[in-house]
Structure 1
Amino acid sequence: MTASPLARTTAPRRVAFLVYDGVTLLDVAGPAEVFKEANRLGGEYELVMLSPTGESIRSNLGFGVTVDGGVSDEPAPDTYLVPGSDRFPRTRVPQDLADAARVPAAGARRVASICTGAFVLAAAGLLEGKRATTHWKATQALATRCPTCRVETDAIYVRDGSIYTSAGVTAGIDLALALLEEDHGPDLTRDVARALVVYMQRSGGQSQFSAPLQGPPPHSPALRKITDRVTADPHGDHSASELARHLNVSTRHLTRLFREEMDTTPGRYVESIRFDMARALLDQRHTATQAAALAGFPSYESMRRVFARQLGISPAAYQRRFSTARAGSG
């Protein structure tokens, strides 16, 4: 695919990647490919790899990465990208790595993290009071590690001023496309997305990729009895009045139990269990109508509303994306 190059009237924008031992290679390669493809189609970017010490590093895949220099030896970049690592949030971010994120960030026009790179930005103090996101598995850990952050659990990427954070791994490509569009507009960005065979802007949030989240069982034996009943038979009659009758308590008391222990209502809890079951049924190639009936939804329309609220996409769109990886194999 070809496109008319843009006129090169300015110096290339310098995009620096902070790499370090254990860095997730795809967090680096995905965004770098976006900017490299943009250059082919008329963009103006200079890509550099920097490490805290200026020494080459070894990625999470065991591949060595040769760097262009050390953080302290290089001029402030236009865009500073901090990829993540499998180690975070299991371990604390080393001080030298936090410093390597903080110092260039002071002079950069914008700073962005990919996946768990958000933990590096947090350790550097760059997320204080900011909206942010990270991989769906680590959003709660980020909120704990950075109590002043407002962590958005379903966002593909988040911008707060000059600080950008993105969700897991391939969301770095989404973020890089957004940065590219800021610099060069939608036309070049669309050409890059098409060349890389990715969405220019994917619909829905990252929760569509997450595993079902049912959380820990409640502490109260009475409430555990109810949750076990719903989980064992999502298709049953689980109205609040019926569940309260099963425990021989008032509906008001049952609702209070759910609020205190699970921060939800009986109706929302039942809905979440049915939603998880419907996702599993769609993954197993049941039709959307079958999934709605088997999961206990009153109708397909009621299931569709839950999918729209939870994932931002329809059941049919979810199934197209996740039921098989062989759709285009022909």
Structure 2
Amino acid sequence: MQRVGFVVYPGYSMMALAAVPAFEVANLAADETTYDIHFISEHGGPVSTSAGMNVETEAFGDTPYDTLVIGGGTVVRPSSPGLIALVQRAASQARRVAAICTGAFVLGEAGLLDGRRATTHWMHARELRNRFPKCSADVDRIFINDGPIWTSAGMSAGIDLALALIEADLGHEVTKEIAKKLVLYHRRAGGQSQFSTLLDLDAKSDRIQAALTYAKQNLDRPLSVEELAEAAHLSPRQFSRVFHAETGQSPAKAVENLRVEAARVLMERSRHPIDAVADQTGFADRNRMRRAFLRAFGQPPQVIRRNARGALDATNA
């Protein structure tokens, strides 16, 4: 049986606790108590989360944990000396130490990120880089595994991180069953981007949303303004005006961003040749796709694929 400690501290976000049910359901899926779950804090007793809910905790002790998980808060605050000492002790005692969202800052304060790759919520990316320059911060990732240190992006990505930890222990099939019982798609890959073009566009009307959905489902087509306008049940002139007003982008630019996002997923998750990826995502040729990648990411498709494979190899090591 593996002891799992969830570290709770004042201002801790309740959303970070969303990772807990994955371990709970893992016990049900395995028909035995594989994970012995503990909620721990520096002094024990009730600890108030950022939403005001109290979590009953045990005080830090000397008993080692197999896995220690530090969640994040909505605001990054300096860690207490006791918390830093616990994390530093876990670095030599625990099999792995994980941090969800801004919990990465706790690992950084404890020196656990020095010389390692890590991620956190994109809103705190610059601060993480500035405060811990010895850490290679890659904040365009859902989660990162670098040896015994695991970090995830925003709070919901903690569920993906928990499933990845469980998959490393119990295998793919068990984790797939856990995700099914949690009514989730199987966990997102760690290399997946934190960003979503559709979320960034944030269309307000059903008509523009319908056009965007149509575009995403038909990226292999030319997707002219006239075709998108028809999907939105607007004239081309009305469509272009309303689209720009709602999204701040032209239809052509939005379609390019959707193509780039889809092409990146294919580059990271498949072994399709670059020409095939360009064709499937509607780019006229690989050179056009390359220029779009450079505009969006500052890197060509080949580098994106190489980095994704390197991250996967590090996770499986």
Would the aligned equivalents of 2:90 and 2:97 in 1 still touch at CA under 8 Å?
no
**Residue equivalent to 1:130:** 116
How many angstroms apart in 1 are the aligned matches of 2:10 and 2:21? 21
Letter in 2 for 1:110: R
| TM-score with structure 2 setting the length | 0.66
Would the aligned equivalents of 1:114 and 1:166 in 2 still touch at CA under 8 Å?
yes
How many angstroms apart in 2 are the aligned matches of 1:61 and 1:52? 20
Aligned residue pairs total 233
Would the aligned equivalents of 1:21 and 1:59 in 2 still touch at CA under 8 Å?
yes
**Residue equivalent to 2:49:** 59
Would the aligned equivalents of 1:109 and 1:162 in 2 still touch at CA under 8 Å?
yes
Say whether residues 1:176 and 2:169 are aligned partners. no
**Residue equivalent to 2:68:** 80
**Residue equivalent to 2:88:** 102
Would the aligned equivalents of 1:18 and 1:101 in 2 still touch at CA under 8 Å?
no
Q: 1:311 Cα deviation (Å)?
A: 7.1
How many angstroms apart in 2 are the aligned matches of 1:119 and 1:285? 37
How many angstroms apart in 2 are the aligned matches of 1:54 and 1:106? 23
Paired residues for 1:5-16 under 5 Å: 12-16=1-5
Letter in 1 for 2:156: T
Would the aligned equivalents of 2:160 and 2:187 in 1 still touch at CA under 8 Å?
yes
Local SS of the residue matching 1:206 = coil
How many angstroms apart in 1 are the aligned matches of 2:199 and 2:80? 30
Letter in 2 for 1:159: N
How many angstroms apart in 2 are the aligned matches of 1:22 and 1:80? 18
How many angstroms apart in 1 are the aligned matches of 2:97 and 2:21? 18
Say whether residues 1:18 and 2:7 are aligned partners. yes
Q: 1:207 Cα deviation (Å)?
A: 1.3
Q: 1:100 Cα deviation (Å)?
A: 2.7
Equivalent position to 2:23, from 26, 32, 35: 35
Equivalent position to 2:59, from 55, 64, 70: 70
Say whether residues 1:308 and 2:232 are aligned partners. no
Say whether residues 1:200 and 2:154 are aligned partners. no
Would the aligned equivalents of 1:207 and 1:311 in 2 still touch at CA under 8 Å?
no
Local SS of the residue matching 1:66 = strand
Q: Where in structure 1 are there 5+ consecutive unaligned residues?
A: 1-11, 213-278, 316-330
User: Percent identity between the aligned chains?
Assistant: 34
Q: Deviations over 1:217-238 (max 9, x none)?
A: xxxxxxxxxxxxxxxxxxxxxx
**Are residues 145 and 299 of structure 1, via their aligned partners in 2, closer, same or farther at CA, if it must alter by over 3 Å?**
closer
Q: Deviations over 1:267-318 (max 9, x none)?
A: xxxxxxxxxxxx2448841412438975446598744432335777999xxx
Paired residues for 1:182-261 under 5 Å: 182-202=168-188, 204-208=192-196, 212=200
**Are residues 302 and 132 of structure 1, via their aligned partners in 2, closer, same or farther at CA, if it must alter by over 3 Å?**
same
Q: 1:101 Cα deviation (Å)?
A: 2.0
Which structure's CA Rg is the greater one? 1
Local SS of the residue matching 1:169 = coil
Equivalent position to 2:105, from 106, 109, 119: 119
Local SS of the residue matching 2:133 = coil
Equivalent position to 1:157, from 137, 143, 157: 143
Q: 1:32 Cα deviation (Å)?
A: 1.0
| TM-score with structure 1 setting the length | 0.64
Would the aligned equivalents of 2:197 and 2:261 in 1 still touch at CA under 8 Å?
no
Would the aligned equivalents of 2:43 and 2:59 in 1 still touch at CA under 8 Å?
yes
